[in-house]
Amino acid sequence: MFYSRKSQVIDHHLTYLHSQKVFTGQYWDEFALTCSLIPDHAKVLMLGLALGGGIRPLFSSTKKIELTCVDYDKESVQKCRDLYQKCFPDIQFKTITADAKEFLKNDDQKYDAIWFDIYADAAYSTLAFDPEFMNLIQRRLTVKGALLVNAYGLPNHFSPLTANNIQQNFASFLKSQFGFAAAIPFRRNMTLVVSSASPTQYPVKANESLNAMDQFTFDFIQKKVSQQIQLDELAGANKIDPHQMQFAAIDTHMRQCWSNLRERLNSSGFDLKENREFISLIQNPERCEKVILHLISKNDLTVCFLPILASGESHLQELNIDWLFDWTEKNRNYLSESLKTHFQLIWLTQLWALVIHPHGRYKKFYFRFLTLMQNL
């Protein structure tokens, strides 16, 4: 059901949709979070389909799901349909080619979960901040239903939910509309869990057709649901500046965060002249260990920039970061005590994303990391 022999169609470096892996370390793996938040025989709506990377993760439990997907891009919908018909014909879902708002105005179904994963080419969609649109979503959710949102922005260690930026505004806006909001961080994306009351967590089990690696990743993702960060103290939504919605503006903000971190490290005797020196830092075990120990001694969770950078940058270039796996394994108790939930939610999530990545560079750490993570 989940795997295909027609690998040439999908094993492409830009899609990361892999014929032999459901979970590939990309943000859409997080669609599997849905499984803990819905009952069996649930109805789920995915707004924003593209190639449907989130579809297999969504079906990866034993639960029966009636899935409807909406996207206004005719070509994407057709490509997605062709791909699933060719490679995964047992996975059944309905597709609708329409603008999401128009669809919701005419729809009369109730859903146990609705995913908002709608983006323009290089920016947030204006629908993300449209109260009328969110009201339509609210009306389509069952009483215990949850809205799950893919929110792009800064990595969690830069505290995006306390700064005045797009993710904070988005989370505040959603909380003001629905009543409850929590966050489950990934890399640059985080999943916002939004509902009218604290969402119900349902029992969940990995689908037996998944291979061992995918079953383990599935279980690991479900654990994150109970570690979700409750957003009780959001600063309140500001007026949205359309400039903030552009990915380029978010990237500029991130580079600013890097510079701030560099300044803090430099004032403690480290010498990082430019942001790109962080890339050589993570490939230099002795120097990097000093930075890790220094930041942890200051209770500075920005230390989580290391695995995030390692994982993000690995898409662009081959890095020498084997040492980080060895070091993490050796220092797991220290890291777990110092970083608390961040050790699992961020540090290990990112290293595991590298282990399961289709490029296979870090799959040699599979069994060692499996043991480490099982014994947490």
Ligand X SMILES: C[S@@+](CC[C@H](N)C(=O)[O-])C[C@H]1O[C@@H](n2cnc3c(N)ncnc32)[C@H](O)[C@@H]1O
Cα angle 194, 225, 34 (rounded to 5 degrees) comes to 65
Q: Is 285 exposed, middle or buried (0-12, 13-18, 19+ CB in 10 A)?
A: middle
| Cβ-based nearer residue to ligand X, 156 or 189 | 189
Q: Is 3 in the site for ligand X (CB under 6 A)?
A: no
Calculate the alpha carbon distances from 8 to 3, 12, 85 in Å.
13, 8, 15
Cα of first residue to Cα of last residue in the chain, in angstroms, is 31
Q: Is 118 in the site for ligand X (CB under 6 A)?
A: yes
Calculate the alpha carbon distances from 123 to 119, 128, 151, 211, 366 in Å.
6, 11, 11, 36, 36
Q: Is 355 in the site for ligand X (CB under 6 A)?
A: no
Give least dist CB 316 to ligand X, A. 20
- Single residue of 44, 114, 127, 154 touching ligand X by CB under 6 A: 127
Q: How many residues in the shown chain lie near ligand X by CB under 6 A?
A: 22
Q: Is 144 exposed, middle or buried (0-12, 13-18, 19+ CB in 10 A)?
A: middle
Residues in Cβ contact with 59 at an 8 Å cutoff, skipping those fewer than 6 apart: 2, 65, 67, 91, 207
- Single residue of 19, 20, 119, 247 touching ligand X by CB under 6 A: 119
| Cβ-based nearer residue to ligand X, 102 or 263 | 102
| Cβ-based nearer residue to ligand X, 122 or 197 | 122
Q: Which residue is nearest to ligand X (CB)?
A: 54
Q: How many whole angstroms separate alpha carbon 76 and alpha carbon 68?
A: 15
Q: How many whole angstroms separate alpha carbon 231 and alpha carbon 229?
A: 6
Give least dist CB 265 to ligand X, A. 34
Q: Is 210 in the site for ligand X (CB under 6 A)?
A: no
Q: Is 96 in the site for ligand X (CB under 6 A)?
A: no
Name residues contacting ligand X, limited to 20-49 (CB under 6 A).
28, 46, 48-49
Q: Helix, strand or coil for residue 107?
A: coil
| Cβ-based nearer residue to ligand X, 72 or 270 | 72
| Cβ-based nearer residue to ligand X, 112 or 117 | 117
Give least dist CB 79 to ligand X, A. 10
Give least dist CB 83 to ligand X, A. 11
Are 40 and 64 within 8 A, CB to CB? Answer: yes
| Cβ-based nearer residue to ligand X, 109 or 260 | 109
Are 137 and 204 within 8 A, CB to CB? Answer: no
Give least dist CB 132 to ligand X, A. 13
| Cβ-based nearer residue to ligand X, 48 or 307 | 48
Name residues contacting ligand X, limited to 46-85 (CB under 6 A).
46, 48-54, 70-73, 76
- Please tell me what DSSP assigns to residue 233: T
Residues in contact with ligand X by the rule CB under 6 A: 28, 46, 48-54, 70-73, 76, 99-100, 117-120, 125, 127
